[in-house]
Amino acid sequence: MSKTLYDKLWDAHAVIQRNDGTHLLYIDRHLIHEVTSPQAFEGLRLAKRQPWRISANIATPDHNVPTTNREEGLDGIVDEVAKLQVTTLDDNCKEYGITQFDILDKRQGIVHVVGPEQGVTLPGMTIVCGDSHTSTHGALATLAMGIGTSEVEHVLATQCLVVSKLKNMKVSIDGQLSNGVSAKDVTLAVIEKIGTAGGTGYAIEYCGEVIRNMSIEGRMTVCNMAIEAGARAGLVAFDKKTLEYVQNRPYSPKGRDLQHAISQWHELRSDEDAIFEEIIHIDGTSLKPKVSWGTSPEMVIDIDGIIPEASSESLSHALKYMDLKPGMKLSDIKLDQIFIGSCTNSRIEDLRIAAQVVKGKKVSDTIKRAIVVPGSGLVSAAAVKEGLDQVFVEAGFEWRAPGCSMCLAMNPDQLGEGEHCASTSNRNFEGRQGYGGRTHLVSPATAAAAAISGHFVDVRGLIK
């Protein structure tokens, strides 16, 4: 019987089906960060259980870490409550012998940037993490899902997850993207089309010419926001680009192991006649840069669009929170801050695109603060080697140390009340980037151009 990519990954990891119909799904890799793991380790200790397979786990602190004064390590964390959470991760990793890239390690970074970068994430794997944006890793033809803390404990103790099989959705993006339109605009377009609950109960496989032509980093951006469409997993088929990306990474297989792996990885694609319960088509050629105007990632319009009417309670609530009026143009919104970073858009390619827009220009006087937060220590080092940090600093951006930073503002990087921010992150929920803050989700190119202009502008034409 023909199978989808999701079906294949599922079949390769289903241990048993229980009487109630749910399955135990074997988990190859478990990524751990400081926020959703302490209660899971505590649960293990209380039940006197041990982790099933220590080497399946890898940890790094990312949500709470400050992006300044990082040479001070733990002492650089001013907030004592945050510091306790980071030291608790240190203690738990030491106690159980789990590999951790700690706050002073050059490989530290956002867990979803670090996994693929280190070759910890490999095609054909099942990967979980106590973070909804684990869907990111699906770009490498893995089945990757976000889980809650009880499930973190369950995976630690059993190396399995109790799950029911998801349905299959295919999202095909065809045609050619215009210059200046990127992966972020694609993923926002999908959410705009199917809504934030459109993918609930599904694994979404992204395909079509646009995805085939897209870099692995771009595919990660697309899969990262599958969860914003409600889908626990996003997927892209294995191809030559995937192989080029994963080989020669610290933890990826070498030599005969690699040849063995490649022979299997080539199967990681949906069969021609595989059945999807839902198929969505998007015309990539007509896509324009996207900007979110409201408080849900589905509240998205084209760069030349206008703020919609308050046709429902949710929309009118969002308009009020964002302090916007129907009929306004995006360029009428006065921006206060710019954030380039997050597990959605903090990889080297994202920084290169933003730097290309910024180079030789200055951040507008009307922008209070513009920051760039690389996704990992290694992304930061690569950017410095290329001189990108200087491009940003000369333009008036602040160049920061890696972490989740203002994506969810658990660290000191936050919006002030009422401030509007052009942000390359993934969620525009109320208060997400700071109490009373107003987030506009955009691509790195659009964020960079907004920093220079002081307001949103169409980047098509600005990008080669």
Regarding 74 and contact with another protein (CB under 8 A), the answer is no
Tokens 């074997």 -> residue:
26
Regarding 313 and contact with another protein (CB under 8 A), the answer is yes
Q: Which of residues 291-310 bind another protein (CB under 8 A)?
A: 296
Among the residue ranges 48-56, 185-193, 379-387, 441-449, the one whose residues contact another protein (CB under 8 A)? 48-56
Which of 53/334 has CB closer to another protein?
A: 53
Among 165, 317, 329, 460, binds another protein (CB under 8 A): 317
* Secondary structure class of 148 (helix, strand, coil): coil
AA letter at 246: V
Tokens representing residue 324 in the block? 């916007």
Query: At closest approach, how far in Å is the CB of 387 from another protein?
Result: 29
Query: At closest approach, how far in Å is the CB of 328 from another protein?
Result: 22
Regarding 49 and contact with another protein (CB under 8 A), the answer is yes
How far apart CA 218 and CA 4 sit, in angstroms, is: 22
For residue 119, give every residue at least 6 positions away whose Cβ sits within 8 Å of its Cβ, in sequence order, or none.
246, 249, 250, 251, 252
- Name the packing angle between helices 348-358 and 444-453 (round to 10°): 30
Q: Which of residues 160-179 bind another protein (CB under 8 A)?
A: 160, 162, 164
Half-sphere exposure of 277 (CA within 13 A, CB side): 14
How far apart CA 36 and CA 153 sit, in angstroms, is: 10
Among the residue ranges 151-159, 273-281, 377-385, 389-397, the one whose residues contact another protein (CB under 8 A)? 151-159
Q: Which of residues 198-217 bind another protein (CB under 8 A)?
A: 200-201
Regarding 266 and contact with another protein (CB under 8 A), the answer is no
Regarding 247 and contact with another protein (CB under 8 A), the answer is no
Tokens representing residue 95 in the block? 């106690």
Query: At closest approach, how far in Å is the CB of 332 from another protein?
Result: 26
Query: At closest approach, how far in Å is the CB of 326 from another protein?
Result: 19
DSSP strands (E only) in 175-245:
202-207, 233-235
How far apart CA 187 and CA 190 sit, in angstroms, is: 5
Which of 84/275 has CB closer to another protein?
A: 84
Among 254, 266, 325, 334, binds another protein (CB under 8 A): 254
Query: At closest approach, how far in Å is the CB of 253 from another protein?
Result: 4
Q: Which of residues 87-146 bind another protein (CB under 8 A)?
A: 88, 99, 120, 122, 124-125, 130-132, 146
Query: At closest approach, how far in Å is the CB of 227 from another protein?
Result: 8
Among 193, 430, 458, 460, binds another protein (CB under 8 A): 430
In terms of Cα–Cα distance, which of 334, 371, 357, 366 is closest to 456? Answer: 334
Regarding 69 and contact with another protein (CB under 8 A), the answer is no
DSSP string, 16-59: EE-TTS-EEEE-SEEEE-TTTSHHHHHHHHHTT---S-GGGEEE
Q: Which of residues 398-427 bind another protein (CB under 8 A)?
A: 408-410, 417, 427
Among the residue ranges 66-74, 185-193, 258-266, 350-358, the one whose residues contact another protein (CB under 8 A)? 258-266
Regarding 440 and contact with another protein (CB under 8 A), the answer is no
Query: At closest approach, how far in Å is the CB of 188 from another protein?
Result: 16
Q: Which of residues 330-389 bind another protein (CB under 8 A)?
A: none
For residue 349, give every residue at least 6 positions away whose Cβ sits within 8 Å of its Cβ, in sequence order, or none.
215, 217, 218
| Cβ-based neighbour number of residue 17 at 10 Å | 11
Regarding 63 and contact with another protein (CB under 8 A), the answer is yes
Among 148, 327, 418, 461, binds another protein (CB under 8 A): 148
AA letter at 326: P
Among 36, 172, 346, 424, binds another protein (CB under 8 A): 36
Size, binding site for another protein by CB under 8 A: 86
Regarding 82 and contact with another protein (CB under 8 A), the answer is yes
Report which DSSP code applies to 274.
-
Three-class SS of 395-464: HCCEECCCCCHHHCCCCCCCCCCCCEEEECCCCCCCCCCCCCCEEEECCHHHHHHHHHHCCCCCCCCCCC
Query: At closest approach, how far in Å is the CB of 77 from another protein?
Result: 10
